[in-house]
Amino acid sequence: MVITKQSILEFEKFYRTNFVNSVSGFKSANLIGTKSRDGKTNLAVFSSVIHVGANPPLIGMLVRPASVPRHTHINIKERGYFTINHINKEIFKQAHQTSARYIENISEFDECGLTPEYTEPVRAPYVKESKIKIGCTFVEEHLIKSNDTIFIVGEIMEVIIPDDVLMNDGYIDIEKAGTIAISGLDSYHETKRIARLSYAKPDVVQNKI
């Protein structure tokens, strides 16, 4: 079936939100950890984290100032640091629960049963229960004029991973680490590798790595 823009605009609000949120494909499943100016920890589930560049190592994500994770944006701007923590199957319910509208004085770590932990160089809390964790500093942001969301770019300060998921060619086997994916607002998915493919060249048949 073909669904036009006009139909999408006429959808009931929650129906439209489900629809458009699921149409872009599978999404990364991460918890963003931050700390406020007065030291309160904040944790929020994000499905918009993407790779921006390898040299320098950059990561981007979209924040919605008008919605729940607004503390995340304020904290990143005020403190300059945030952590990205992969969601795995063991913690996906706690991770999802961080999207509830808790008041500012309440930490999602306490309410959702996750444990903050710290390293010396990064002034934001990691999630202990996550297996792949990235500490970032804020580097730039861009206002998306069409809907007043903000695309934030961070530079990677450190990456924390289990020893056995780093492959010989630098690839991190996030599936082996139990990282999951999101579709739509609320659907969580395990993955099963089909194949890794070799670097594509014209006139060369694809081979598995």
Residues from 148 through 167 that contact a copy of itself (CB under 8 A): 149, 151, 153, 155-163, 166-167
Rounded CA gap, 203 and 3, in Å?
38
DSSP 3-state of 137: strand
Nearer to a copy of itself, 37 or 146 (CB): 146
Which two three-digit tokens encode residue 124?
Answer: 């934001």
Q: Single out the segment in contact with a copy of itself by CB under 8 A; choices: 33-41, 69-77, 181-189.
A: 181-189
Return the residue of 50, 104, 110, 115 that touches a copy of itself, per CB under 8 A.
50
User: Distance of alpha carbon 200 from its chain centroid, rounded?
Assistant: 28
Nearer to a copy of itself, 22 or 36 (CB): 22
The answer to the question of residue 175 lying near a copy of itself (CB under 8 A) is yes
**By C-alpha distance, which of 87, 82, 46, 66 is closest to 144?**
66
Return the residue of 36, 80, 97, 118 that touches a copy of itself, per CB under 8 A.
97
Confirm if 49 and 61 have CB atoms less than 8 A apart.
yes
Confirm if 130 and 85 have CB atoms less than 8 A apart.
yes
Nearer to a copy of itself, 14 or 39 (CB): 14
Return the residue of 93, 104, 113, 115 that touches a copy of itself, per CB under 8 A.
93
Q: Which of residues 123-152 bind a copy of itself (CB under 8 A)?
A: 132, 134, 139-140, 142, 144-147, 149, 151
Identify the H or E element spanning 135: strand 133-144
DSSP 3-state of 106: coil
Return the residue of 62, 123, 128, 129 that touches a copy of itself, per CB under 8 A.
62
Return the residue of 34, 48, 72, 83 that touches a copy of itself, per CB under 8 A.
48
Q: Single out the segment in contact with a copy of itself by CB under 8 A; choices: 34-42, 69-77, 172-180.
A: 172-180
Return the residue of 83, 102, 104, 131 that touches a copy of itself, per CB under 8 A.
102
- Taking residues 1 to 30 in sequence order and writing x for each that binds a copy of itself by CB under 8 A, - otherwise, the string is xxxxx--xx-xxxxxxxxxxxxxxxxxxxx
**By C-alpha distance, which of 187, 166, 169 is closest to 87?**
187
**What are the φ and ψ backbone dihedral angles of 58, each rounded to 5 degrees?**
-125, 145
Burial of residue 14 (number of CB atoms within 10 Å: 0-12, 13-18, 19+): exposed
The answer to the question of residue 40 lying near a copy of itself (CB under 8 A) is no
